[in-house]
Every structure is written in C-alpha cells, then in structure tokens.
Chains A and B, each alone.
Chain A
Amino acid sequence: MVPWYMAFLIGGTLCLIGQLVMDLTKVQITPGHILVGYITSGAILSGLGVYQPLVEIGGAGATIPLSGFGHLLTQGTLKAVEQKGLLGAFSGGIEAAAAGIAAAVIFGYIAAVIFNPKG
C-alpha cells in the first residue's frame, strides 16, 4: 500500500502545477480549462506509459487528480482494444470511467433537488 505522505506529496505537487499555470499565464484560465487540461494530459501521459509509474509511487495522489481520470480512460481503452479490437477503442474508456461519471451525475442531481444555492 502507498503511504499517505506520498499521496500528499504527489497530489499536492499536481495541484501546485495547476495553480502556477493559473497564476503565471497571461490569459485567464478558468476551472474548465484546468479540468480539460488535466484530463487530456493525463490521458496522453498514460498512453506514453509515463503515468502508471506515478500511480505506483503516489497512489491516490496520482489517481484522485483529474489527470488520474484521464489515465483511467486511456488504460480502459487500451485494455479493451486488446480484448475486442476496434470496438474496444470506442467502448473501453467510457466503461472504465462509468462509475465516476454516474456517481457525479446522480449525486449532482440529488444535491440539486435537496439543496438551494446560497451563493
């Protein structure tokens, strides 16, 4: 099992990079840009084989940041391609991410029903 301080270190560093991108670039970076940037880079790094080692070291510190979600998509796709070929390229990513997406949508809807925005 990965020790908690490695998760803290790797996770913290990944967030720090995002903060520096937000603060040091001239154009305005919104959370939307950050999320898109992280999922995309995670997916690409995973495809290049660089992300899995980071997961080995950092555990949740690498899987909880959204780049880990991109990693999940890529690994799911690659695994499905091995099993089903071309069809797997289409189905693998979403299958691997299904639990997270479903949870976000369902919890989001329920929260909207229960809570009102307070601002």
Chain B
Amino acid sequence: MPEVNNHKLKKIEEYEDLANRCKPKPPVVKNSIWAFVVGGLICTLGQVIQNYFMGIGMSRQDASSATSIVMIFLAALATGVGIYDELGKRAGAGSIVPITGFANAIVASAMEFKREGYIFGVGARIFSVAGPTLVFGFAVALFIGLLKVFISS
C-alpha cells in the first residue's frame, strides 16, 4: 500500500533529521590543517630524496621512480613498527593521499592476515585495498591509450 510506504518513509526522514541534529560536526579546520601539514611534509621529504637522486646524476624519470621506492620502503617500515596508523588517526587524508598511504594500505593488509597463513592470508589479502586502486588506475590509463590509438589512426 503506497500510503503505508509513504508513512514509513516520512518517519525515516524525520528520524534522519533527529539523528543529524544529534551528530556533532567533524572538526573540519583542525583535520584540514593536519592533512595539509602532514601531506605537505611527506611530499617535501619526497622532493628532498628526488633532488638527491637527481644530484647524483639520475634522469628525472628514474629519480622519480627511485623516490617512490624509497617512500614506499619508509611507509612499510613505519607501518611495521606501528606508527603509521597512529599518524593516520590525526593526519587523515594527509597520510592517505601520498603514495605512502597506498603502501600503508598494502602493508597493513598483508600484516593483518599473517595469522591466516602466508598464501591465503598474506598473499591473498595483500591487495584488499590496493587492488581496487590499481584496477581503476589501469582501466583509465588503458582507456586513454585506446582513445589515442583510435584518434591517431
């Protein structure tokens, strides 16, 4: 019966209002400052490392790849000793958006499922968060590549 559904829907909407009224607002300014500063610092560290690699004569592209590897290593270490999750509690997107956040997602998933074994625990779960990221990255890049093939032919 539509009236009953409408009545129910109205009740749900009313409740939604009440729930929203009782919900405190997230500390947007505080979170934003944390995200900006931590994210900025991680990128600055990346820049310092990249400048070092370019200083010893690497091409810009190679220096960029090498920097990624170093940053991923540092993130893996920080995750392993248990400080990256503490950082993430405060920094939010500041520690998720940089490639260290991607590495943290991979390492945390791998570590978490160690107790379920090295093949179906670590091996299978290592991509639980990073997998979707790569799927969409690859898909978009492939699509753009196909577009280029199509346009230039």
Contacts and interface: CB of A to CB of B under 8 A. Distances in A.
Contacts of A13: 36
Interface in B90-142: 92-94, 96-103, 105-114, 118, 122-123, 126, 129-130, 132-134, 136-138, 140-142
Contact of A64 (B54, B71, B123, B130): B71
A19 B145 contact: no
Given A89-B148, A110-B76, A31 B101 contact: yes
B133 A11 contact: no
Contacts of B111: 108, 111-112, 115-117
| A-side interface mostly | helix
Contacts of A10: 43
Interface residues of B, number: 80
A18 B97 contact: yes
A94 interface: yes
B47 A2 contact: yes
Nearest to A92: B145
A44 B28 contact: no
A100 B141 contact: no
Nearest to B134: A101
A99 to B, nearest CB: 4
A104 B96 CA distance: 15
B81 to A, nearest CB: 7
Contacts, number: 288
A59 B56 CA distance: 17
Task: With a 10 A CB-CB cut-off, give which of A21, A22, A24, A100 has the most chain B CB atoms.
Answer: A100
B59 interface: no
What is the predominant secondary structure among interface residues of chain B facing chain A? helix
Given A34-B93, A40-B140, A108-B126, A88 B145 contact: yes
A31 to B, nearest CB: 5
28 contacts: A4-B47, A7-B44, A9-B40, A14-B97, A15-B35, A15-B38, A16-B35, A19-B36, A20-B32, A22-B93, A23-B28, A34-B101, A39-B140, A59-B47, A60-B44, A60-B67, A63-B46, A66-B99, A70-B141, A72-B64, A78-B144, A89-B142, A103-B103, A104-B102, A105-B126, A111-B76, A111-B79, A112-B126
